[in-house]
A and B are shown apart, each in its own frame.
Chain A
Amino acid sequence: KQEVTQIPAALSVPEGENLVLNCSFTDSAIYNLQWFRQDPGKGLTSLLLIQSSQREQTSGRLNASLDKSSGRSTLYIAASQPGDSATYLCAALHTGNQFYFGTGTSLTVIP
């Protein structure tokens, strides 16, 4: 069974820093990997989707990479802002359209 882990569980950085969030998965037979953002008391907002054949995706200050062979994905956030404070979740899609979610990284960007 797929297990998805995110490190670190919590991260606090000063505004303006670049940062990397990590996601690892045990079963490399995934269709895609998706990064989400969740604000307190809110739903999940899709940030980036990387298909299994792709290596990375970029959107604005966000860049996500995927290395299936090593079972890893990273989300890079450039020039962090207080508005980036949220919980970030990665999810791996498997056969049967089932998503396995990571445990999340709670990010706080200090002004």
Chain B
Amino acid sequence: DTAVSQTPKYLVTQMGNDKSIKCEQNLGHDTMYWYKQDSKKFLKIMFSYNNKELIINETVPNRFSPKSPDKAHLNLHINSLELGDSAVYFCASTGVGRRHTEAFFGQGTRLTVV
């Protein structure tokens, strides 16, 4: 069983398009995240949701909009894609309370904007 699963794994699209990346976790965790990994492999947080509520919203263009229909899902929708959006996007989740905050990551979605 995959704990955190993302789809699609690869996404190639043209500039200006709108695309979505889906994420699901079956760990019963309350908190889910989206991270962006740039070409230098640095991971930077974009959003964090706790029980379907937005907790962290870093400086991200408003073309990026997360949606959490329930606490097991956190999808990322991107409007008007730009070349600079090309990166690997990772979804992650953590459990309840400080002692359960081991993070689990999905396999990533490699987005290429052409």
Interface string of B39-64 (1 = CB under 8 A from A): 01111110010100001100000000
Tell me if B94 counts as interface (CB < 8 A to partner A): yes
Size band of the A side of the interface? 20 to 34
Count of B residues near A, CB < 8 Å? 27
> Using a Cβ cutoff of 8 Å, how many contacts connect chains A and B?
62
Q: Is the CB of B41 within 8 A of A43?
A: no
Q: Is the CB of A34 within 8 A of B102?
A: yes
Tell me if B13 counts as interface (CB < 8 A to partner A): no
Provide the bound-state CA to CA distance between A32 and B41, in Å.
Answer: 22
- Are A91 and B103 CB-contacts (below 8 A) given A42-B108, A43-B108? yes
Residues 8-62 of B contacting A (Cβ, < 8 Å): 31, 33, 35, 40-45, 48, 50, 55-56
State the Cβ distance, B108 to closest chain A Cβ, in Å: 5
Q: Is the CB of B103 within 8 A of A46?
A: yes
Provide the bound-state CA to CA distance between A91 and B44, in Å.
Answer: 11
